Amino acid sequence: MSEHCLPILVVEDDPSLREAIGDTLELAGRAHVAVDGGEAALKVLAEQAFSIVVSDVRMMPMDGIALLKEIRARLPHLPVVLMTAYAEVDKAVDAMRSGACDFLLKPFEPKALLAHINKYELPASDDGAGVVAIDPVSRDLFAIAQRVAQTDATVLLTGESGVGKEVVARFIHRQSARRDGPFVAINCAAIPESLLEATLFGYEKGAFTGAQQAQAGKFEQAQDGTLLLDEVTEMPMALQAKLLRVLQEREVERVGGKKPVPLNIRIVATSNRDMAEAVARGVFREDLFYRLNVFPVAIPALRQRREDIVAIARHFLVDHGGRFGRPGVALSPAAEAALTAYDWPGNVRELENVIQRALIMASGQTIGPEVLNLAPSPLAATPAVPAAPTHAAATLTEPEKKVDNMKDLERDHILRTLAEVGGSRKKAIERLGISERTLRYKLQQYRDEGHFQD
């Protein structure tokens, strides 16, 4: 069977040819859906995801060119291959201009059809590696990621904390010509400044106290593969200059070393900050920003791709259910509706935490909304509120009361979580799905208000 899990959509109004194409795909082990025209195709495209569309050109009342233009308007990165007779080559040229990947001249051999599909189709998952792309927004994202993966361009992934930037980085690596090389990740925010240079660039024996033997850094470890610089905006300014030189020269010199090591690596960097703002504030080098920003990819927040939510939740149910000894546990329709309606300020990381807790709390084989514990989020955006009046709180309007209640819930949730983990801020930010900077800000706010003491 093929490694691809998304089906192929076949659009053909000739029953005999439609059946023949279906037989070819079945023999190749490929799932597919076959429809008899453009309107039917648009209907199923609105209901489920496909890896590619293979459509005839001459159909009534909507022909293949019109269908192609509709698909381009709705799903701009979904590949489309058109089938056409030799006498309609002019239409094929028009189709290519309208965004078709390619066209097949009838009659064609089964191997030609399969070759076109294998060449152009969009993968829904990366060999079972946890990539879920059901929402059109996600499908567009991974289509872009797959395209840039075919090059060696430096990629800059931006997005909120917890959106899955490392998942996208690993996808790019596995889709690239470097897939057989190493994928090395370093979190620039998690390593103390005093150790970061040696960790990145390596060191020679005796370079500093405790350096009893030479050690290759992350750059050398990623040779012939991909290096992920996670949260690169957290890197100290002094080290940014050294990183810039490495990227420019494509060689690295170990701490205490004198001989540069040539590099053959692909760089992927991530940040959950507004990098242009970081440059403007003087905390990130402008020249380094442009060196990293060769191919920027903004990863949408989970609330911006809601069709992925239930699919990702089911993925976590299978993954963690097996580890927790709870295989076969499923979400109830009400639970799925609750997950879809929630705004997920902590993004995919928060969703994973919710599913793990639900697996622990659910008594049966079905998870209902009551065990999801989707309280108002500690990071949910709240509307701006006018300054509180100086008289009694009873004079507050209903919206103001709700905002105050949400602030109270936010504070209680953060402080309760901090207490549950024994005051460990590292464990608290993992549970809450927020950044260390956000937690620091919130705790300072609570100190000023008299609600928290270290």
pLDDT of amino acid 280: 93
Q: Which CATH number applies to 393-449?
A: 1.10.10
Let me know: does 274 contact 231? Beta carbons within 8 Å: no
Predicted confidence (pLDDT) per residue in 169-198, tens digit: 999 998 899 999 999 999 998 888 778 888
Nearest of 324, 369, 356 to residue 430 by alpha carbon = 356
- Measured in degrees and rounded to the nearest 5, phi and psi for residue 83 equal -105, 130
pLDDT of amino acid 99: 72
Let me know: does 224 contact 265? Beta carbons within 8 Å: yes
Quote the pTM value. 0.60
* pLDDT confidence tier of residue 229, bands split at 50, 70 and 90: very high
8-120 with 136-298: one CATH topology?
Answer: yes
Angle at 41 between CA 38 and CA 45, to 5 degrees: 140
Q: Does domain 303-371 have CATH number 1.10.8.60?
A: yes
Can you name the CATH fold of 136-298?
A: Rossmann fold (3.40.50)
pLDDT of amino acid 294: 95
pLDDT of amino acid 376: 58
Q: 233 or 84, which is more confident?
A: 233
Tokens representing 95 are 């189709």
Rounded Cα–Cα distance for residues 363 and 435 (Å):
32
pLDDT of amino acid 240: 95
Rounded Cα–Cα distance for residues 303 and 354 (Å):
15
* pLDDT confidence tier of residue 401, bands split at 50, 70 and 90: very low
Q: Which of 247-256, 344-353, 401-410 is predicted with the least confidence, judged by mean pLDDT?
A: 401-410
pLDDT value at 266 more than 90: yes
Query: Which residues in 215-313 belong to E strands, given as ranges?
Result: 215-216, 226-230, 251-252, 261-262, 266-271, 295-298
pLDDT of amino acid 72: 79
pLDDT of amino acid 385: 34
pLDDT of amino acid 90: 63
Rounded Cα–Cα distance for residues 200 and 216 (Å):
9
CA 276, distance to chain mean position in Å, is 21
pLDDT > 70 fraction of the chain, expressed in percent and rounded: 84
Q: What residues contact residue 433 under an 8 Å CB cut-off, 6+ apart? A: 161, 162, 345, 346, 347, 349, 350, 353
Neighbours of 454 (CB within 10 A): 5
Tokens 């799925």 belong to residue: 336
Give the neighbor-by-neighbor strand order of the sheet with 80-85: 32-35, 8-11, 52-56, 80-85, 102-106
Q: State mean pLDDT over 21-33.
A: 91
C-alpha torsion sign, points 56, 60, 65, 66: negative
**Residue 89 DSSP SS3:** helix
Q: What is the mean pLDDT of the chain?
A: 83
Q: Which of 206-215, 304-313, 352-361 is predicted with the least confidence, judged by mean pLDDT?
A: 206-215
* DSSP state string for 172-232: HHHTSTTTTS-EEEEETTTS-HHHHHHHHHEE-TTSSTT--S-EE-HHHHTTTSEEEEETG
pLDDT of amino acid 271: 96
* pLDDT confidence tier of residue 398, bands split at 50, 70 and 90: very low
Domain boundaries, the chain: 8-120, 136-298, 303-371, 393-449
Rounded Cα–Cα distance for residues 49 and 335 (Å):
22
Angle at 156 between CA 433 and CA 146, to 5 degrees: 100
Class of domain 8-120: alpha beta
- Cα separations in angstroms, 65 against 52, 126, 253, 332: 16, 31, 56, 42
Rounded Cα–Cα distance for residues 207 and 251 (Å):
19
**Residue 66 DSSP SS3:** helix
pLDDT of amino acid 402: 37
Neighbours of 385 (CB within 10 A): 14
